[in-house]
Structure 1
Amino acid sequence: MKTTLGISAENREIVAHDLAKLLADEFVLYTKTLNAHWNLEGMDFHSVHLYFEELYKQSAEIVDGVAERIRQLDHYAPATLKNFLQLTHLTEQDGGGNDSRSLTAKLLSDHESIIEFIRGTIGEFQEAHHDAGTSDYVTGLMETHEKIAWMLRAHLK
């Protein structure tokens, strides 16, 4: 069945490809947030452990939302770890400590990287690819990451 969304097939493909990169970033961040939740140590363990749990649950919802947006554009979401690691802008980090300060700083850095990536796509989706829906979607997603980054940053002060 032909997809008619008012966006050309070529533009949908370009947007879906950028969303696939975003999905990979979101999935890697989700995994890193789980790592922080599971491996946290320190005097503030309980409160930060619960906070990281909130973050990974929110992250799981974001991953699902990005994948569904790709499907709305009639493309398939990448769904393997191999694909995610090939597409992501984020890096895996070993070591560096399992204290709340170290883990929070790592998560903050990744949220800020995702914010920068999204900010670079908003206008392009709208203007170059005529996809106001995805532009609006990622704007909301960027605002979510900005709020999380603000809260993570506040923990580090």
Structure 2
Amino acid sequence: MASPAIDIGIDTAARQEIAAGLSRVLADSYSVYLKTHNFHWNVTGPMFNSLHLMFEEHYTELATAVDEIAERIRALGEPAPGSYSAYQALTSVPEEEGQPEAVEMIKQLVRDHETVSRTAREVFPLAEKANDEPTADLLTQRMQIHEKTAWMLRSLLA
């Protein structure tokens, strides 16, 4: 049995374009989540305790965020990507396979949070053009959080 047509005031093409953009935001966000969790587990050195706790706060927030982004994609009527290969194809966040020093972890996460913010900012005009306020609100919240997180991490490097 087919689902009823979606009639939320956004045409199909716009919903698909917005969902495709949100899929990139989701992939970037999940990539930062995974990297942050890795760094939480593997950080060492004099800043261990503070970074270990901070990274936990960050990946916990990101875990909620990826769920919200995926649910918005679904509300737009599109499937949310959910595999490593899909994320790898969609993300702009480089993977870290090694165990960098704590300062390098911070530098990477600054760059990565800024990347997610830029990706969200690229999608924002699509939502705005379609009068998709829920997506615009979600993107605004994500940009605010990623930019604040990047600022806080960057402050550790001063």
TM-score range, shorter chain: over 0.9
Q: Which amino acid aligns with 2:38?
A: N
Aligned to 1:102: 104
Judging changes above 3 Å, is the alpha-carbon distance between structure 1 residues 90 and 59 closer, same or farther for their aligned structure 2 residues? same
Q: Which amino acid aligns with 1:38?
A: W
Question: Within 1, Cα distance between the matches of 2:27 and 2:97?
Answer: 19
- RMSD of aligned C-alpha atoms? 1.3
Q: Which amino acid aligns with 2:110?
A: L
Aligned to 1:31: 34
Q: How far did residue 100 of structure 1 move? A: 2.2
Q: Which amino acid aligns with 2:59?
A: Y
Deviating 4+ runs (over 4 angstroms): none
Question: Within 1, Cα distance between the matches of 2:157 and 2:71?
Answer: 34
Aligned to 1:141: 142
Q: How far did residue 95 of structure 1 move? A: 3.8
Question: Within 2, Cα distance between the matches of 1:10 and 1:107?
Answer: 34
Q: How many residues align structurally?
A: 155
Are 1:45 and 2:48 an aligned pair? yes
Q: Contact (CA 8 Å) 2:10, 2:132: kept in 1 or not?
A: yes
Are 1:154 and 2:125 an aligned pair? no
Structure 2 stretches lacking a partner, 5+ long: none
Q: How far did residue 3 of structure 1 move? A: 1.0
Q: Which amino acid aligns with 1:146?
A: E
Pairing partner for 2:119 from 97, 100, 117:
117
> Which deviations, in whole Å up to 9, do the C-alpha atoms of 1:65-109 show, x marking residues without a partner?
110110111111011111110111111134472x32111110110
Q: Contact (CA 8 Å) 2:16, 2:78: kept in 1 or not?
A: yes
TM normalised by structure 1 equals: 0.93
Question: Within 1, Cα distance between the matches of 2:87 and 2:150?
Answer: 22
Structure 1 stretches lacking a partner, 5+ long: none
Q: Contact (CA 8 Å) 1:96, 1:102: kept in 2 or not?
A: no
Question: Within 2, Cα distance between the matches of 1:68 and 1:145?
Answer: 19
* Percent of residue pairs identical: 37
Question: Within 1, Cα distance between the matches of 2:17 and 2:138?
Answer: 16
Q: Which amino acid aligns with 1:69?
A: R
Aligned to 1:77: 80
Q: Which amino acid aligns with 2:70?
A: A
